Amino acid sequence: MGSVQIVTTILAAAITAVAVWLAVRAVLKMVAVIRLGQPAPERFTDKAARARTMLVETAGHTRMLKWGVVGAAHWFVMVGFVVLSLLVLEAYFEVVTPTGGLPIIGHWTIFGLATEIITVLGLVGILVLMVIRLRNRPTRPGGRSRFTGSTMWQGYFVEWIVLLVLIFGLVIRGFKVATDHFEYPLWATPVSHAVGAVLPDWSDGASVAALIKIAISMTWLIVISLNVTMGVAWHRFLAFPNIFFKREPARPAGSGLGALRPMTSQGKPLDFEEADPEKDQFGVAHVEQFSWKGLLDFSTCTECGRCQSQCPAWNTGKPLSPKLLVLSLRDHAYAKAPYLLAGGGKDLTGEEKATQAQLAHLDVLSLAEGDKPLIGDAESGGVIDPDVLWSCTTCGACVEQCPVDIEHVDHIVDMRRYQVLIESSFPSEAGVMLRNLENKGNPWGAPQNTREDWTKGLDFEVPRVGEVDDFEYLFWVGCAGAFEDRAKKTTRAVATLLNEAGVKFAILGEDETCSGDPARRIGNEFVFQMLAQQNVETLNEAFEGREKAKRKIVATCPHCFNTLGNEYGQLGGEFEVVHHTQLLAHLVATGKLTPVQPVDGGVTYHDPCYLGRHNRIFAAPREVLGDAIAGDLTEMPRNSERSFCCGAGGARMWMEEKIGKRINVDRVEEAMATGAKTVAVGCPFCSTMLNDGVNGKGAGEQVEVIDVASVLLRSVKPEQPQGGRETAPVGG
């Protein structure tokens, strides 16, 4: 070993020892913080499916590849990181001797070829990502950036490190070529040979370059170890467990979509008949009341801003960005951790758990962080502003986009639950809706005995369950479908089409109450459970003696569809629920309904969040429209998975939209820009919001917002009186 190698070896060992020590300390700290969360035993089920999903999502980059170029570039960088770690290891042999290499595989030409290819593709990938980050930097003139609010130096730092590590990998090889100590042939390593052609014949070059490569890699490790909230770097390790422990691994995409998580205390679903707010956790009031998976979610965020770029609240000037929300919770959790780890925290009655002696050694910043309210405005020093919390429509665009499967909607609703159930703190205008749900069983407060009024004037009988027992489908009408004028037209259209197709169906009539969706999304789990239990009982009675496959329900409202199909199972109600567009598509496909007169004038379709993103039903409504309209459907730029919310979900239908641009107006402008005369919808709330938007723009005469079922009815029974345009006033 020459004198240069003695120096390079000592320096490499020293910096590595420091980096590894700091990294071990950082990992222990991160684990300690994540362990502060509540238990989540359901995350340990079905390990085979979890492992499968994790491998598919990471190795296949299935979620990242939704963003074509970025996804592909990131894939090469990821593969580069994993495979080229071997070359960092090899550098430790090269600091000792410039001709050194990995034992065994380091002599294989195939290894030389594979690492050469991955180095080059990794270089291209990282340069693409660097250009994309620079072109989208928040400070660039004009335009909005998904990186607004991200810690930009961290992104740049990580990218430069990757770039330099890749470059120095080639430089090491280049020196080996230049000194004639390179084992791989030209055909397998042309780039290394090209680099070698311009480097001097310096015998210690490979050792010095290897030291620089190690120093760059260890600098990265030291910096990220000193910054445990640096998700842009840590996600390389945390993404794997975060995806493994996602809520429903078997769900094809967006597993944090569809059903909400039940309310839990100590990891067990809360039973309101026995629950006690002094003993049980009601929602989330403090960051440590999220489950450990919640804290892992916050730690894993890469600050990529994909969620932010799709969020309807953020895009219309509201203070909510799902990314910034996650980052605020992450930073708060890590800043509060010393206080919590010292034994601090509030018990369920609000009393401090720690003794003064336990907290005596803490610095003032940790103590101050421990005192911060989780929800509170700037004046009260809250971590999350109430305007942020209540701006969410639970549309799921953030969950859908997140490459590391963060479950934003669950976290938002958990925080809402505490605010509603314990603090009674929520937008006051929603109070009327909640009172109506409790007292009248519907958000409008309409008399229950008018639930069947929509059947008046139909030229056939609509039977109630109990009057017939051979019905195939129970037609779940929903509150909007029963009480809201515009939605009643959809209900009548669906009933008429089912009757026309000879489908045997029956309704619950006055036995139906609200599914509970608005109560659950606003955070009032108590009212949700009250309504849901009542409905589950009624439905179980209606289907008594039938196996699950024959407990078929058709619903026109995607919110009811989602709640009945995905959430009633949590309360013992197992049903086969279809949306009316699915059933209608089936009836047309099997010849039971025949469109005879195409509807013309241009049609576009707005995907309701709870039908599309939350339940992956994109094709059925388009199939129905494809059969019923003249020409092709005109798609809006934001459609299917990337559809833009109408603004009504998450109980926002019942809250005023006081900040920023109205979400429905943004969506209507997009729909009108297609030139279509008809905007087809599949949800009564979307219908209300978009009609409202069209009327607000004074375009009610030129553009019609109408349900897919009504479009089909016009095509199947053109002679049928249609009851005029669906432009009734909002509400009922």
Residues forming contacts to ligand SF4 in the complex (CB under 6 A) are: 301-307, 310-313, 320, 322-323, 326, 392-398, 401-404, 406, 408-409
Instruction: Compute the least distance from the CB of residue 142 to ligand SF4, in Å.
Output: 22
Instruction: Compute the least distance from the CB of residue 701 to ligand SF4, in Å.
Output: 32
Q: What is the torsion angle, in degrees rounded to the nearest 10, for the CA atoms of residue 366, residue 367, residue 372 and residue 373? A: 120
**Nearer to ligand SF4 among residue 181 and residue 642 (C-beta):** 642
By three-state DSSP, how is residue 705 classified? strand
**Nearer to ligand SF4 among residue 195 and residue 395 (C-beta):** 395
**Nearer to ligand SF4 among residue 607 and residue 726 (C-beta):** 607
Instruction: Compute the least distance from the CB of residue 649 to ligand SF4, in Å.
Output: 8
**Nearer to ligand SF4 among residue 307 and residue 646 (C-beta):** 307
**Nearer to ligand SF4 among residue 260 and residue 340 (C-beta):** 260
Which alpha helices (H) appear in 632-707, and where do they start and end? 663-673, 684-696
8 A C-beta contact, residue 434 and residue 519: yes
User: Residue 166 phi/psi, 5° resolution?
Assistant: -65, -45
8 A C-beta contact, residue 256 and residue 408: yes
Tokens encoding 188: 């397998």
Instruction: Compute the least distance from the CB of residue 719 to ligand SF4, in Å.
Output: 42
| Residue of 464, 448, 425 whose CA lies nearest to 513 | 448
**Which sign, positive or negative, has the C-alpha torsion 166, 170, 175, 176?**
positive
Taking the C-alpha atoms of residue 390 and residue 654, their distance in angstroms, rounded to an integer, is: 11
**Nearer to ligand SF4 among residue 5 and residue 302 (C-beta):** 302
First vs last C-alpha separation in the chain: 88
**Nearer to ligand SF4 among residue 386 and residue 396 (C-beta):** 396
| Residue of 174, 182, 712 whose CA lies nearest to 495 | 712
8 A C-beta contact, residue 416 and residue 282: no
For residue 15, the one-letter residue type is: I
Instruction: Compute the least distance from the CB of residue 402 to ligand SF4, in Å.
Output: 3
Tokens encoding 373: 């309210």
| Residue of 38, 17, 35 whose CA lies nearest to 27 | 35
Instruction: Compute the least distance from the CB of residue 394 to ligand SF4, in Å.
Output: 5
**Nearer to ligand SF4 among residue 251 and residue 725 (C-beta):** 251
Taking the C-alpha atoms of residue 107 and residue 105, their distance in angstroms, rounded to an integer, is: 5
Instruction: Compute the least distance from the CB of residue 306 to ligand SF4, in Å.
Output: 4
Instruction: Compute the least distance from the CB of residue 406 to ligand SF4, in Å.
Output: 4
Instruction: Compute the least distance from the CB of residue 321 to ligand SF4, in Å.
Output: 8
Instruction: Compute the least distance from the CB of residue 496 to ligand SF4, in Å.
Output: 35
**Nearer to ligand SF4 among residue 481 and residue 612 (C-beta):** 612
For residue 319, the one-letter residue type is: P
**Nearer to ligand SF4 among residue 208 and residue 397 (C-beta):** 397
8 A C-beta contact, residue 588 and residue 541: no
- The upper half-sphere exposure of residue 378, i.e. CA atoms within 13 Å in the direction of its Cβ, equals 1
Instruction: Compute the least distance from the CB of residue 555 to ligand SF4, in Å.
Output: 22
The CA distances from residue 481 to 99, 654, 685, in Å, are: 77, 17, 10
Taking the C-alpha atoms of residue 144 and residue 147, their distance in angstroms, rounded to an integer, is: 9
Tokens encoding 109: 């030409």
DSSP-derived secondary structure letter, 275: -
**Nearer to ligand SF4 among residue 50 and residue 146 (C-beta):** 146
